[in-house]
Amino acid sequence: MRRLLPAPAILGTALLLAALAAASLVIGVGDLFARDGTSGVSGLMLLLASRLPRTLAAILTGAALAIAGTVMQTLAKNRFVDPMTAGTGSSAALGILLVTLLAPGAPIALKALAGSAVAFLGTLLFLRFARDLPPTEPFLVPLFGIVYGGVVGAIAAAIAWEADLVQFLDVWMNGEFSGVIRGRYELLFVTALLGAVAFWAADRLTILSLGRATAVGLGLDHAAMLRLGLVIVALIAGVTVVTVGIIPFVGLVVPALIGRRVGDDVRRALPLTALLGAGLVLGSDILGRLLRYPYEVPVGTVLGVVGAAAFLAIVLRRARLG
């Protein structure tokens, strides 16, 4: 029997996501039900111009980052690596910084493309290095990734400082949704397309994670598949970093949670991965809105804490199990 998708888990996660989306639409400083009076903004306006875009942006970003994590893990043949913390994210920020420097008025799509191009190169270089790490020590890859991402981020910071663009870089390096309004997030819908491509290539991606010999033996063009996976990861990075900034650890935590129960068969895991990623990011954004109400904690900060704790828990659990 061909295994089916884990339907109950998908349904449950979808319902949870719907509940979070509803909460996200009503939680915030502006009063959705206020009658025009005080603020001068009608509830419907607030909903359509800000709350709905913000909610959709969180869902799209979360799903995309979780998918990028899954794809990256098949490329690196390592289950613990997260592109946003392993240099892909900071490479994208570097690319966006460079295009902003050279062509300040460039449209956002062009900036995303430049970010993706540098993310592609930065990730390629990371994978080259990671290949030489001993496979018996799976945590060296994500740890090396964090150091590597830090180096790329430092290069970007030095350039930004020279060019007086530090505030801009901060926006790309620290993900948050408070700036998301209608007209400034729609590029994120591209990630839905990228998710569909990943789903189409799901079997090939799983085979890629089994190593080159297996992939070639099964008739895959191994190099072409690696490139396709890299393009998916890099485009997701470019698009999300330019619109909302780097959000860490989603690509690690979500596949790790799903891997335990569902496994790493990409076709089976991907729908649930996307839903759970969306729920995690949207939930973290809502938490960020509530923690210091009426002020906001950026979602990148929330996930930095939550994700790092989860990462440590995974490492320690593995260490205990031996």
Partner 1 sequence: MIRISNVSYAIAGTTILEDIDLAIPSGGVTALIGPNGAGKSTLLSLIARLLPLSSGTITLDGLPVDRTPTRALALRLAVMAQEGSVASRLRVEELVGFGRFPHHRGRPRAQDQAAVAEALALFDLEALADRFVDTLSGGQRQRARVAMAYCQGTDYLLLDEPLNSLDIIYARALMRTLRRIADDRGRTIVVVLHDLNHAAAHADRIVALREGRLVADGPTGEVMTTATLQRVFGDTIPVAEVDGHRIALHFV
Amino acid at 19: A
Q: Report the half-sphere exposure of 307 (CA within 13 A, side-chain side).
A: 26
Answer for the pair 61, 281: CB distance below 8 angstroms, yes or no: yes
The binding track of 4-43 with respect to partner 1, each residue x by CB under 8 A or -, is ----------------------------------------
Answer for the pair 283, 303: CB distance below 8 angstroms, yes or no: no
The binding track of 128-157 with respect to partner 1, each residue x by CB under 8 A or -, is -------x--x-------------------
Should residue 204 be labelled a site residue for partner 1 when binding is judged by CB under 8 A? yes
Task: Name the one range near partner 1 by CB under 8 A: 29-37, 216-224, 231-239, 305-313.
Answer: 216-224
Q: Which residue in 134, 183, 219, 322 binds partner 1 (CB under 8 A)?
A: 219
Burial class (CB in 10 A: 0-12, 13-18, 19+), 195: buried
Which residue in the block uniquely carries the two structure tokens 């080259």?
128
Helix or strand or coil: residue 249?
coil
Should residue 321 be labelled a site residue for partner 1 when binding is judged by CB under 8 A? no
Q: Which residue in 41, 186, 192, 264 binds partner 1 (CB under 8 A)?
A: 264
Amino acid at 293: Y
Should residue 212 be labelled a site residue for partner 1 when binding is judged by CB under 8 A? yes
CB of 259 to partner 1, least distance (A): 5
Residue 27's nearest CA partner among 285, 300, 303 is 285
Should residue 226 be labelled a site residue for partner 1 when binding is judged by CB under 8 A? no
How many other C-beta atoms lie within 10 A of the C-beta of residue 97? 25
Considering the complex, state which of residue 97 and residue 205 has its C-beta at the smaller distance from partner 1: 205
Angle between helices 190-200 and 52-76 in degrees, nearest 10: 30
What separation in angstroms does the CA of 150 have from each of 73, 85, 146, 322? 20, 8, 6, 29
Q: Nearest 5°: phi and psi at 224?
A: -65, -40
Task: Write the DSSP string, 3-25.
Answer: PPP-HHHHHHHHHHHHHHHHHHH
Q: Which residue in 29, 263, 291, 312 binds partner 1 (CB under 8 A)?
A: 263
Should residue 79 be labelled a site residue for partner 1 when binding is judged by CB under 8 A? yes
Alpha helices in the chain (DSSP H): 7-26, 43-46, 52-76, 88-102, 108-131, 140-162, 166-173, 190-200, 202-208, 212-217, 222-243, 250-261, 266-291, 299-321
Task: Name the one range near partner 1 by CB under 8 A: 82-90, 92-100, 258-266, 287-295.
Answer: 258-266
Helix or strand or coil: residue 295?
strand
CB of 210 to partner 1, least distance (A): 6
Should residue 227 be labelled a site residue for partner 1 when binding is judged by CB under 8 A? no
CB of 312 to partner 1, least distance (A): 21
CB of 119 to partner 1, least distance (A): 24
CB of 80 to partner 1, least distance (A): 11
Task: Name the one range near partner 1 by CB under 8 A: 93-101, 188-196, 206-214, 241-249.
Answer: 206-214
Should residue 213 be labelled a site residue for partner 1 when binding is judged by CB under 8 A? yes
Q: Which residue in 7, 12, 217, 318 binds partner 1 (CB under 8 A)?
A: 217
C-alpha to C-alpha distance for 196 and 200, rounded to whole angstroms: 6
Answer for the pair 18, 60: CB distance below 8 angstroms, yes or no: no
Q: Which residue in 81, 173, 207, 236 binds partner 1 (CB under 8 A)?
A: 207
Should residue 210 be labelled a site residue for partner 1 when binding is judged by CB under 8 A? yes
Q: Name the residues that contact partner 1, by CB under 8 A.
A: 1-3, 74, 77-79, 135, 138, 200, 202-204, 206-207, 209-214, 216-221, 259-260, 263-265
